Chains A and B, each alone.
Chain A
């Protein structure tokens, strides 16, 4: 251990002695730094019984990995230290005991502690915000490279005991007081009473040069944590009676910025204080009230432009319509998104159409059936063989006496065409040996229901027709003159009745057996 200690100590010494720029470039200093951090790690190990590492492993490890090991060691340490500080807060006398102990122990590792201490205090001095300082302290303590930077600077500062920084305008102690006051406002806890303890603590720590410099720092930090943690019963009463002047010695100190914070913090303070005494109902009521106030405030303010009804471009901020999701009717169908599937489907369709040869070509609409097209006279560009007189003569004859009219060129063409067609028909008939067989008439039986024709024929009737599918003869085949009930004359009615009776009698005569029994019974009843 001693050997190791010595080497570690030497390493520290060496680090301390090197110039700061050396740390910027990778060099052999890293070995030294690792040795130093190992030494420190060992120092702390006794206070960390649960740590998984017996020693800091540095061979072949990355800076990140070394740091992780250090971090693992320090985390539990922090919590334990916190507890210690709380304990000390409750029982200030124990600190004195500890302080005496520390004095004894410190002699062994003077320089080291000094370094650490100076480093720590230097850190405190450098960093105004002590909550942040916690993390940075750890970093700078445990990372060997950065350590030396701090060490050198801090030693100087420490030696001077704030001579370098402080002057008539800036006092460290006043700064600390100010910070504590601020925290008291925020968190509503008056630990001015603790200040004395803190001060004492700090003085003790500084003067005594503790063995555990980390503990020192942690204690200081935990001091604040303790403050954050909230009031003891003793303090509660004091808080209840706290007044403005308790926090702020006078109105001169405050700046304008502070005012706002103060007012808000006052309210927050009172709320915080009140929350402890109010019932849940009252708490909820307070919440609701605050909500109501906020809503009322928003209602009074001018509305957002989207809620103002008709808005012109001049009345709304520039390009604000782009940010809002506007919803309006698109009259045009949105352009189809061209995806691969769409193109593939189109191409398939095209291919199938080509294979089928089913092109949707535009077909000429059939012209209306009119009278036969007039024979268009051809423009004859040769000298006419007939004289003008003959031309008129022919025309006259054609109109007056068509039979005798000489044939025109078109007539001759027609003649020729008809001759050709006759020849063709002759040849075709010869193929079937001149036996003409007409198409066979296949008589199909189809049931025709007496449904209105309209239902069978058209889907969308242009005109409604009452005609039925079947002809009236098919519906009813009756003979003679069919008359309606009302149209019958008296004689006809008589005739009809007589006919019915005859029919009935004929039927009854056919079946005498069945009806005999009934007849007798009826007869019997009638008699009676």
Chain B
């Protein structure tokens, strides 16, 4: 056995130990914006005023506790204001909260709107009936009736099959859901506006939704 050559260990006394690698924690929301606080202000339509009063706590709790975003109601301006805190983990929380409140203002229910907080991929799309087809007077009323169906069954059918939520507010239509689902719901709604009977829409829905759910 040969002598193992030992590595010469030079005791480097002269060179100072290198400084430890710096470890940076991710930036907090307010730090990102250089310590500035970010705001969101959502106006409240008059018809949603009383529902807001009723469901205020349901809105406040998840936003304040889970999203860690400050929320307050500006009565004078009739706006809901949102503000980032120091411990807001992610800047997107603010946006999500704002979307959530906005969805509520559009007319969606709290459980449906909450999904916006929980999932990233959900969006809200709005369009008007006149975008699809110019209808006036009775035709318009009939189109709205067609959209909802008897007791809202057509709307619910679309909602259940496409996993979306639909709000029909007079001539405006809002759809909440994932992108592809929104597309399907939108197309079925448009065909209803254009005048196709509900049965036809159902059959199309059935085939498309089956494909969607695979």
Contacts and interface: CB of A to CB of B under 8 A. Distances in A.
The answer to whether A binds B is yes
Interface stretch (B1-9, B17-25, B156-164): B156-164
Nearest to A379: B157
Contact of B156 (A382, A386, A388): A382
Contact of B157 (A376, A381, A386, A391): A381
Contact of B115 (A374, A379, A383, A389): A389
A106 to B, nearest CB: 127
A388 B115 contact: yes
Given A379-B205, A387-B114, A374 B156 contact: no
Nearest to B203: A379
Bin the interface of chain A by size.
10 to 19
B109 interface: yes
Given A383-B152, A388-B112, A377 B119 contact: no
Q: Which secondary structure characterizes the binding site on chain B?
A: helix
Nearest to B150: A381
A31 B110 CA distance: 140
A374 B210 contact: yes
Given A388-B176, A389-B115, A389-B118, A377 B156 contact: no
Given A377-B213, A379-B206, A392-B163, A387 B109 contact: yes
Bin the interface of chain B by size.
20 to 34
A380 B161 CA distance: 8
A297 B214 CA distance: 96
Contacts of A384: 156, 159-160
Nearest to A396: B119
A294 B160 CA distance: 104
A481 B12 CA distance: 81
Contacts of A376: 210
A391 B177 CA distance: 11
B174 interface: no
Nearest to B108: A388
A390 B114 CA distance: 9
A377 B209 contact: yes
A422 to B, nearest CB: 31
A18 to B, nearest CB: 110
Interface in A359-409: 374, 376-377, 379-384, 386-393, 395
Nearest to A391: B163
B100 to A, nearest CB: 11
A385 to B, nearest CB: 10
A89 to B, nearest CB: 120
A384, A388, A390, most chain B CB atoms within 10 A: A388
B111 interface: yes
Contacts of A380: 156-157, 160-161
Given A379-B202, A381-B157, A388-B163, 13 more contacts: A374-B210, A376-B210, A382-B153, A384-B159, A388-B111, A388-B112, A388-B177, A389-B111, A389-B118, A391-B163, A392-B115, A392-B118, A392-B163
- Return the 5 tightest CB-CB contacts between A and B, nearest first: A387-B111, A389-B115, A381-B153, A388-B115, A380-B160
